[in-house]
Amino acid sequence: MVLINPGSGPLPTATEETAAANIESFIADVCDSWHCGLVESRRRLDKDNGDSRYAWELELARPNGTHHTCEVQMFGVSLDYARGVTALTFAEPRNYVDDSSRM
């Protein structure tokens, strides 16, 4: 069996509306995990990469008062599908933060 970057392919059933709901969940998880706050979320149509992922630019306030900006390419399929069923199931699809997706 050969696996090359699982979860990175196009998603024919993806929608921008589902991606918008997913970005809200992503923001909540990031803010909770990293104890930061959302300053601004901007939809970036010009940064969509055309493979069923939709771009947002997030500005986050860190606890020390500094701000961090990142670009998120969020997938447009349901979170239930994206999270997989078991620990042995690769999460698919992958989302990208600042052009990087790590497993």
Domain boundaries, the chain: 16-97
Residues 16-42 have pLDDT tens digits of 999 999 999 999 999 999 999 999 999
DSSP 98: T
What's the confidence (pLDDT) of residue 3? 44
Of 78, 73, 11, the residue nearest 45 (C-alpha): 73
CA 38, CA 101: separation in Å to the nearest integer? 21
Residues 45-62 have pLDDT tens digits of 999 988 788 999 999 999
